[in-house]
Structure 1
Amino acid sequence: MERESRFSQWLRRRARNGARSGPDAARARAELLLRAAEAGFPLAPAAHPSGYGCSCVRIGCPTPGRHPVSFAWQTQATTDPEQIERWAETQPQANFVTATGRTHDVLDVPVEAGRMALERLDEQGDDAAAGPVALSDGERMLFFTATRGTPDDEDEWWPCELDCHPETMDEHPGLRWHCRGSYVLVPPATLPGDRPYADVRWLRPPVPGEALPEPLTLLETLTDACAVHAGGRRDHEPAAPWPSR
């Protein structure tokens, strides 16, 4: 009998636990946000779904429920637990983003590629190799890594074509590297629609005090998985593990 993958176990367990509502759900939400902040992820409030649209005032918002509330989100983002608890209490429907490029980066891949990468890492027997991992909308998988940082000498900050900013999301169908100036939704977050996984949830939650993996240690595994995924979809939908411009 084939052993059930850990990825499948996570999805089954999260679906079973996702039906909670009321005060317990609010407390669980706050605890998840505080745990992310304790792990060093700076948070800021984001919009949330309103029907099939967005809670923001923008007509025809192109990214409903997926963007910060304030244009000053980079300044606003914090790990201060008291501030995060205030936000969670006063904005009970809000999603939250975490600003990347400060204490962590995020490698963002199609869910099929992420599943393959996780299973490969699992086979190697190193549970901590992947670091924290989240599932976004059932379509993308987010790998939280250490950041390349923002050194004093800008010449030492190496750019790359994988760099993903909020306004260039559609240009990165394969692997996206969220670093300085970008953000991702942090679990728990709700997205528009009634699909089974119209949310952002942890598959492997962060462990406060545990070092994040270096991005380059994951990059080869993730790009290989993206290449396999892209090859398998070539007859149906063009995709590429590396963005082309």
Structure 2
Amino acid sequence: MAGRKRLSGWLRRGADSASSSYAAPRPARASRTSRGSRPRPSVHDPRRDDLVRAAAQAGFRLVPAAHPDGFGCSCERIGCPIPGLHPVSLAWQTQASTEPQRVEDWLRAHPLANFVTATGIDHDVLDVPAEAGRLALERLIVDGATLGPVAALGEDRLLFFTATRGTPADEDEWWPCVLDSHPETADEHPGIRWHCRGSYVLLPPARLPSGHSVEWLDGHGPDLPLPDPLPVLAVLTDACAQFGYEPEAPLAWGR
């Protein structure tokens, strides 16, 4: 209740949906390395195919993404700023799918690829610093709250999957908020990020440039039902505030 009260006065800021521009992946090759360093090899994770299928079966529309290649990215973009963290195709929003045959085709065609799920269609994701996310998770469990899938993005952040605010035919019903995060605006939200329309997140077991990976938390896999985002957001907001992650501007709860 305290979290909701704090949030209820927040102001509205609209955010435009936009997609980032990335090139298609290049064929596997020997990676360039810095002097005296050794490249990290690109290795197929044997769990990947089953985990990706499980996410698609749970209704998470997904699409192939680039993967770390040595100390760089599998895409052809020189100096890619987010290696292994972006979709392969510029048309990822329209291509994202749960259709089994399409998923199988992608798995065969991209044996080393990470996968991302497009948010704001069937689900949203509340993305928070790991320390605040763990505290919020403990509180939600104690309170007996409905928890959906939760994934760890390496050691730095937790991803809370929730029901979406939707994509209504009438744009006047759309509910923008200052925490909306798109791929190119993530750095603007060091605390809570709300991935909705026009955004995506990596799916387990995506590999990160740091050498870590994206993993479902035990007991919080994609088969769980998606909770209402507002009660989860209230707890996450309180937890983030305890660690000094205060939002720079207020959030609109709706119209």
**TM-score bucket of the superposed structures, by smaller chain:** 0.7 to 0.9
Q: CA deviation at 1:75?
A: 0.9
1:45 paired residue number: 64
2:234 paired residue number: 220
From 177, 197, 200, give the equivalent of 2:194.
177
Superposition pairs for residues 229-244 of structure 1, below 5 Å?
A: 229-230=243-244, 240-244=245-249
Taking the aligned partners of 1:124 and 1:189, their CA distance within structure 2 comes to 31
Taking the aligned partners of 1:137 and 1:53, their CA distance within structure 2 comes to 18
Answer yes or no: is the 8 Å Cα contact 1:174–1:243 preserved in 2.
no
Q: CA deviation at 1:244?
A: 4.5
1:5 paired residue number: none
1:36 paired residue number: 55
Q: CA deviation at 1:89?
A: 2.0
Q: CA deviation at 1:212?
A: 0.6
Runs of 4+ in 1 over 3 A off after TM superposition: none
Residue by residue, what CA displacement relative to the aligned partner does 1:42-98 show, whole Å, maximum 9, x if unpaired?
000000001121111111111110000100000110001111122112211100010
Answer yes or no: is the 8 Å Cα contact 1:52–1:193 preserved in 2.
no
From 131, 138, 142, give the equivalent of 1:123.
142
Residue type at the aligned position of 2:222: P
From 99, 105, 115, give the equivalent of 1:86.
105
Q: CA deviation at 1:218?
A: 0.4
Identity score, percent: 63
Taking the aligned partners of 2:141 and 2:122, their CA distance within structure 1 comes to 25
Residue type at the aligned position of 2:221: P
Residue by residue, what CA displacement relative to the aligned partner does 1:2-42 show, whole Å, maximum 9, x if unpaired?
xxxxxxxxxxxxxxxxxxxx99x53x321111111111100
2:84 paired residue number: 65
Q: CA RMSD in A?
A: 1.6
Q: CA deviation at 1:211?
A: 2.8
Task: Tell me whether 1:140 sits opposite 2:161 in the alignment.
Answer: no
Residue by residue, what CA displacement relative to the aligned partner does 1:129-171 show, whole Å, maximum 9, x if unpaired?
2210000021010000000001111011011100001110100
From 178, 184, 206, give the equivalent of 2:222.
206
Greater CA drift, 83-92 or 130-139: 83-92
Classify the secondary structure of the residue corresponding to 1:189: coil
Taking the aligned partners of 1:31 and 1:39, their CA distance within structure 2 comes to 12
Normalising by the residue count of structure 2, what TM-score does the alignment of the two structures yield? 0.77
2:122 paired residue number: 103
Q: CA deviation at 1:241?
A: 3.3
Taking the aligned partners of 2:237 and 2:121, their CA distance within structure 1 comes to 23
2:183 paired residue number: 166
2:13 paired residue number: none
Structure 2 runs not aligned, ≥5 long = 1-42, 251-255
2:253 paired residue number: none
Q: 1:226 to 1:183 in 2, by over 3 A?
A: same
Taking the aligned partners of 1:77 and 1:131, their CA distance within structure 2 comes to 21
Taking the aligned partners of 1:193 and 1:162, their CA distance within structure 2 comes to 26
Normalising by the residue count of structure 1, what TM-score does the alignment of the two structures yield? 0.80
Structure 1 runs not aligned, ≥5 long = 1-21, 231-239
The structure in which a higher percent of residues are helix is 1
Taking the aligned partners of 1:108 and 1:146, their CA distance within structure 2 comes to 14
